[in-house]
Structure 1
Amino acid sequence: MTETLYPEVPVLVVGGGSVGLLAAALLTHHGVPVVLVERRSGPSVHPRATGIGARTVEILRELGLDAAVDAAAVDLRGGVGKAVARTVVDMGAGDVVTVPMPTPSADEPDVTPFRLRGVCAQDRLDAVVAADLSRRGADLRWSTRLVGIAQDADGVDVELDGPDGRYALRCAHVVAADGTHSTVRTALGVGTTGPGDLGKSMINILFRADLRPHLRGMAFATCTITTPQAPGLLATVDGETNWVFHVACDVDAGERPEDFTPERCAAIVRTAVGDPDLDVEVRSVLSWRPRSAAAQRFAVGRVFLAGDAAHTVSPIGAFGLNTGVADAHNLAWKLAAVHHGAAGASLLDTYAHEREPVAAATLDQAMRRLADPGLHWGRGPEADAARVAAGVWAAPVVHLGQRYDSAAVVDPRPELPSTVDLAAALDGSPGSRVPHAWIDGVSTLDLVASRWTLLVGAEGEGWLTAAVDVGLPAHRVAVPWLSDDGALLVRPDGIVAMRAMAPAPDPVRFLTGVLDQVLARPVPVPST
């Protein structure tokens, strides 16, 4: 190993995909210096996902990136979420079955402050986050591989191989977001559980072709192409000239991923479109396989697994990327609290305690959808009844409604009151995401603003005074999920840490005790 001296860094993020980039962005947002290493030369140009869920949008909003990501999204207002057609030509001619984009009805409760106008391909998301990190002066080390890792009680030593050779780095903590075949997870000796690979191997063809003349103004997120000569799934990247087509690789028939040359892929695309003369530029070809697996442990000492390194989710439901972003969001504020001396080290234990059950539930929900995709796409009372019978939660509940049960929550309520009604799941219970409500034109989520925040009822003067003494920002709210003289303590990640439905005899002492508990702070021993 080359003996090159580098200053110790608080957090090393391994992996420059969406989860790694957002982990670095969230840590930077919380004032923690970060080094990110990625073996590729830059953000991926090949989108692996296009479905950005509501909770991820809220996290982007917290970072101030919601508008930029919305601008990068394909406008599907008035479009459809899913289409089924023999070819693209047939689809544009009107021979198509469609499922509308899920939009709130007039009587549906407003559960989130901002929605993207459509889908945003993962490469576009990554470009927005990476550019923001660069503007903030983050230390992003592309073309750099982790080749060794060891830890002790005081830190983590890693060996990196970059453009200028190998060097050592000493870190306080490591976030491993380095994918399904995580080098870090393997080096730590952490195995995985679950069914593993599912179904056939797939080929992901990223191509450029102007499909607008064939679509005749139709906009969609995905379209299942059914022509027997080239069946597959077409997904929009920009809705005009950039697309992804997923086609099966029939290994049983002797096909291999390397058989899908650019020339063959272009011919497949032309057949799927229904235009033999279409001008097609194949930009990239990746092989992949649906998978469902979870790491046996999400944390080992000072190293934390996130995203696909912690769990690989089968694709129906668009839960994979979003579950990984939620990992990063949960972990970032905790690492920051420990780094800044505001919390005890054992707060970090709650990362695995909270995220492992959520990941397990999400993997289960994705697998149930894989068995019957109609349970995911169905709309209306009959579809809700079918989901309940099959144990399938409504997708918004999977994205927004799951709850935490750990030492970082006082009196948690982990059981969901409803797996269909998101508003019922977001009722202000400890462990749930704080309900969204507009307070003088500002969302309660925006009031939290990445800080510990106290929301108090309309008659909560005592709580307001105590918040000042404790050093908490506080806001008066009149909402159905909080009594007039009650208080709700919200964590920096928007999770309810405590709910009091009545005044405390000594609110300053009460709030101090709650913060000491959830932040794992040492309790002073009274002098004698």
Structure 2
Amino acid sequence: MSDVPVVIVGGGSVGLSTAVFLGHHGVRSLVLERRAAPSNHPRALGVSSRTFEFFREAGLHDEVNAAVVTSTTQWKANARTVAEIDHSQAPAPSAAASVVSPESPRGHCPQDRLDAALLPAARERGAAVEFGAEVTAVGQDADGVTVTLADGRTISADYLVGADGVNTKVRGALGIGTTGPGELGGTAMNILFSADLVGHFGSMPVMVEIQHPDVSGMLLAVGEGRWVIHVPLTDGEEPTEERCLAWIRTAIGADVPVEILNAMPWRATMRMAAEFRRGRAFLVGDAARAITPLGALGLNTGVADAHNLAWKLAMVLAGTAGDGLLDTYHDERHAIAELVTEQAALRWENPPLHWDPAAAAGRAAVGMWNAPVVIMGYRYDSTAVVDPVTAVPSTEDIVACLNGDAGSRLPHRWIGPGKSTVDLIGPGFAVLTGPGGEAWCEAARENGLRATVLDADWTSSVALAEDGAMLVRPDGFIAWRTGSGADTALLGKILAMVTSR
């Protein structure tokens, strides 16, 4: 008998998210993190509306929202120094809600602040989280996995999730190879410091590209009075504390008290595992694929990995799905990783095309997709989707992409105060139908599914007959749609196909 259903190696944002999502689906997990405590370094910063949807589903809306940096304004400035920022270039504040998500775009959400919300949430949902627990070996057979720790313990589980980052040991222990160039370019210093820039300057953008001849880099708000500056190093340059302070003071361009909190060297990496599943073991996040940081695609893609995998593991562990459903984790997420890796590389090579909303023609010329389409507009093609429409209608218009096609994420529509169609989904499958689809509700109930009748405006928006129906997966993706009248036996057959029963 296993000690725990799922063991997760790695207790960063993606590992903790995996534990949260498994707990949301009723599955206990054990998270093993080699570090003695959570990292205080911000690392990735951008959390997309889609990622906020995942946490909304898991009941963490308020906790994650509280982690967002609110002391700065949402724009990117370019200036010689902070003191020379032209604030007249700041866009007018907008309170417009997102038309594609119940979660409007927010400010930066640094990983250390996100982790502080995820850690207690994982434990509250049944996960055990151990710090200072270094994994030295993993093994598996047909019946389960074993994990050996540096302290000599051996833990058994039904499944293993490797979430141990870009320098993963799990991937190597599983014998999974990688593709990609590996480390790119030179080393940069990532310097975390405290300074009251808002108090001194009155207003600060969330991001400043510093263009001083003595220091160039990106300055980012990572908390109330906390900042990170990324400074490229030249060959032979020694990043002493005195040097780091000089860079910061030069970048600020004014006499503001500064305290360095942490500093770490960093290099961009592009590498992808050949397989995301091997037997009873799975790779998520940077253990599965590491990409360049521009565009905030890495963290969001990693959390999406966890969200995709969690419900599938839960169903297989519960005996309501076959093992083939777990194969769709690799089929779906590896394809998305290839897309995201390509898009991240294009952003690394063409930064202005990423930042400029009006640069659609330039993006098209190099094959770059608009960021919202990369984050939310992609489609799945696997046995967990029946007759998927794999080609995106547009690489620029996210609204056009979220049109109700099989394989795409369910479109958001408000259906009541504070309630979205997105909220109708999870933790199980659901059937959505139009005003003429009451018989589909009965068919859903006979197959043990929840069902919701929506109005004619909704069916029209997704080009569905009023007596048609959609079968929506626990992760919000449309598994199947039909314009025909209700058929209980057909719905059961489709459900069995999608879940590999």
TM-score (norm 1): 0.90
Q: CA deviation at 1:378?
A: 1.0
Return the alpha-carbon distance in structure 2 between the equivalents of residues 116 and 74 of structure 1. 12
User: 2:107 maps to what in 1?
Assistant: 118
User: 1:225 maps to what in 2?
Assistant: 210
| Residues matched between the structures, number | 495
Return the alpha-carbon distance in structure 1 between the equivalents of residues 311 and 201 of structure 2. 45
- 1:449 is aligned, of 404, 426, 444, to 426
1:307 matched to 2:285: yes
Letter in 2 for 1:268: W
- 1:178 is aligned, of 158, 164, 183, to 164
1:491 matched to 2:491: no
1:212/1:141 Cα in 2 relative to 1: closer, same or farther (>3 Å)?
Answer: same
- 2:295 is aligned, of 317, 335, 338, to 317
Unmatched segments (≥5 aa) in structure 1: 1-5, 522-528
Return the alpha-carbon distance in structure 2 between the equivalents of residues 100 and 177 of structure 1. 40
1:493/1:463 Cα in 2 relative to 1: closer, same or farther (>3 Å)?
Answer: same
Contact 2:30 2:128 in 1 (8 A): yes
Q: SS at 1:225's partner residue?
A: strand
Q: SS at 1:226's partner residue?
A: strand
User: 1:141 maps to what in 2?
Assistant: 130
Return the alpha-carbon distance in structure 1 between the equivalents of residues 80 and 328 of structure 2. 49
Q: State how 1:56-67 maps to structure 2 within 5 Å.
A: 56-67=51-62
Contact 1:365 1:392 in 2 (8 A): yes
Contact 2:431 2:450 in 1 (8 A): yes
Return the alpha-carbon distance in structure 2 between the equivalents of residues 74 and 345 of structure 1. 42
Return the alpha-carbon distance in structure 1 between the equivalents of residues 60 and 105 of structure 2. 12
User: 1:166 maps to what in 2?
Assistant: 152
- 2:500 is aligned, of 515, 520, 527, to 520
Q: CA deviation at 1:279?
A: 2.2
1:406 matched to 2:382: yes
- 1:377 is aligned, of 351, 355, 368, to 355
Return the alpha-carbon distance in structure 2 between the equivalents of residues 97 and 265 of structure 1. 29
Letter in 1 for 2:469: A
User: 1:72 maps to what in 2?
Assistant: 67
User: 2:310 maps to what in 1?
Assistant: 332
Percent identity over paired residues: 47
1:350 matched to 2:336: no
Q: State how 1:73-88 maps to structure 2 within 5 Å.
A: 73-75=68-70, 79-88=73-82
Letter in 1 for 2:377: G
Q: State how 1:91-110 maps to structure 2 within 5 Å.
A: 91=85, 94=86, 110=99
User: 2:20 maps to what in 1?
Assistant: 25
Q: State how 1:146-295 maps to structure 2 within 5 Å.
A: 146-161=135-150, 165-218=151-204, 220-238=205-223, 240-250=224-234, 253-255=235-237, 259-275=238-254, 277-295=255-273
Q: SS at 1:359's partner residue?
A: helix
Q: CA deviation at 1:97?
A: 5.6
Contact 1:57 1:114 in 2 (8 A): yes
1:129 matched to 2:114: no
Q: CA deviation at 1:99?
A: 6.8
**1:404-443, Cα deviation, whole Å (9 max, x unpaired):** 0000111111111111111111111111111111123321
Unmatched segments (≥5 aa) in structure 2: none
Return the alpha-carbon distance in structure 2 between the equivalents of residues 400 and 449 of structure 1. 18
Letter in 1 for 2:427: S
Q: CA deviation at 1:7?
A: 5.1
Contact 1:76 1:118 in 2 (8 A): no
Q: SS at 1:159's partner residue?
A: strand
User: 1:525 maps to what in 2?
Assistant: none
Return the alpha-carbon distance in structure 2 between the equivalents of residues 144 and 96 of structure 1. 51
Return the alpha-carbon distance in structure 1 between the equivalents of residues 412 and 218 of structure 2. 35
TM-score (norm 2): 0.95
Letter in 1 for 2:206: A
1:95/1:460 Cα in 2 relative to 1: closer, same or farther (>3 Å)?
Answer: closer
Return the alpha-carbon distance in structure 1 between the equivalents of residues 357 and 206 of structure 2. 17
- The CA RMSD measured in Å over matched residues stands at 1.8
